[in-house]
């Protein structure tokens, strides 16, 4: 009888181990295109030890309360769910983060007694690797699988974990990892600058129109500053959804603002204080045009304000570069000449007005 008993015990043990290794409980980690992550752990009471079941302490975990935990689920699984949350660690680049923990409602085809514990949050800026560690709750069930998926990728990566082990590094190279603050500043400064030079001929002509009417640098810079403050205001309001205007309206009006400034240069011999107010109003209009660029590219949620301010600083840098080149090539050598207005300001303003008028017609009818 003794050999038969040993054989039966061996078969029962092997059967239990095999069931655990097939992953009665599995962990699914997904890295989303919006720069967030979610880690789902479906829990079925049938796969738990008797001591794991019951209400236990269903209040606070070390990450805070379990959001969405209904009383009936808490009565069955509260003890295990809290232990699972308290013993689980989410790591990016080896550093733990603090996820939000919640219960995901069961799908229509799931058994009603089943619950899914979800850990979720934002991927830290600049992260390169992900790890998962669980000390206790899942360890008692033996080896279990961690399924890793980057949103949009067809294949999944499976990692089999033992009790208390930290998962191998999972590369986030293909995931939408939020950039660091320095990366955001560099990227959006460049975007703002290049939107003026060389990619913004309409804005370049508008800035040149501002430059031509005055021979002194201070009034020119005052106009550029008013323009920047104005387009920063409407750009922010547009990005936040407070102000919206169709590009089919904004773009022709931007072209007409170029015409207006150029014609004023021809008709008005000296800069008047009202010019700054006029430039400010046109800046409000140009800000709506800049918003179209940022809407297409998007702004990182983790560094929204940083990106917005960096873009505007880049635009300001592009405008000042245009002013600097025009001042060095035209203003500095010729502004004191008696013929400066007649031979430079009027002809160049006529050319700017003609181009602006052409763009106005083109943007309305073509």
Band (pLDDT 50/70/90 cuts) for residue 48 is low
Name all contacts of 162-166 with Cβ < 8 Å and 24+ positions apart: 163/135, 163/136, 163/138, 163/139, 164/133, 164/134, 164/135, 164/136, 164/139, 165/133, 166/91, 166/131, 166/132, 166/133
First-residue to last-residue Cα distance in the chain:
95
- The most confident of the ranges 92-96, 162-166, 343-347 is 92-96
Q: Is the pLDDT of residue 73 over 80?
A: no
For residue 203, give the H/E element and its range. helix 201-212
- The tokens describing 319, both together, are 């405008």
DSSP 253-296: HHHHHHHHHHHHHHH-SS--THHHHHHHHHHHHHHHHHHHHHHH
pLDDT at 357: 92
Q: Is the pLDDT of residue 366 over 90?
A: no
């Amino acid at each position: 009888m003794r050999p038969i008993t040993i054989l039966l015990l061996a078969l029962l043990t092997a059967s239990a181990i095999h069931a655990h290794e097939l992953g009665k409980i599995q962990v699914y980690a997904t890295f989303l295109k919006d720069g967030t992550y979610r880690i789902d752990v479906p829990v079925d009471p049938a796969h738990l030890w008797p001591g794991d079941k019951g209400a236990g302490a269903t209040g606070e975990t070390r990450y805070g309360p379990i959001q969405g935990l209904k009383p009936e689920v808490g009565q069955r699984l509260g003890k295990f769910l809290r232990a699972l949350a308290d013993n689980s660690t989410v790591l990016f680049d080896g550093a733990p983060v603090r996820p939000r923990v919640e219960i995901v409602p069961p799908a229509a085809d799931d058994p009603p007694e089943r619950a899914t514990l979800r850990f979720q949050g934002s991927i830290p800026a600049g992260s390169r690797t992900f790890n998962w560690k669980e000390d206790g709750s899942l360890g008692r069930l033996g080896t279990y699988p961690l399924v890793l998926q980057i949103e949009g990728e067809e294949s999944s990566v499976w990692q089999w974990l033992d009790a208390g082990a930290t998962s191998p590094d999972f590369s986030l190279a293909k995931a939408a990892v939020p950039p660091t603050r320095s990366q955001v500043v560099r990227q959006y400064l460049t975007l703002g600058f290049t939107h003026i030079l060389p990619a913004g001929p309409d804005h370049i002509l508008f800035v040149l129109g501002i430059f031509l009417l005055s021979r002194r640098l201070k009034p020119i810079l005052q106009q550029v500053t008013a323009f920047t403050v104005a387009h920063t205001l409407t750009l922010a309001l547009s990005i936040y959804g407070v102000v919206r205007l169709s590009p089919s309206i904004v773009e022709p009006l931007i072209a007409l603002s170029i015409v207006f400034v150029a014609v004023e240069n021809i008709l008005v011999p000296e800069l008047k204080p009202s010019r700054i107010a006029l430039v400010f109003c046109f800046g409000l209009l140009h800000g709506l045009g800049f918003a179209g660029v940022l809407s297409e590219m998007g702004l990182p949620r983790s560094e929204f304000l940083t990106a917005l301010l960096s873009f505007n600083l880049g635009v300001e840098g592009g405008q000042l570069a245009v002013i600097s080149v025009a001042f060095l090539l035209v203003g500095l050598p010729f502004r004191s000449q008696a013929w400066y207005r007649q031979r430079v300001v009027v002809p160049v303003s006529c050319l700017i007005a003609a181009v602006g008028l052409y763009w106005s017609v083109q943007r309305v009818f073509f």
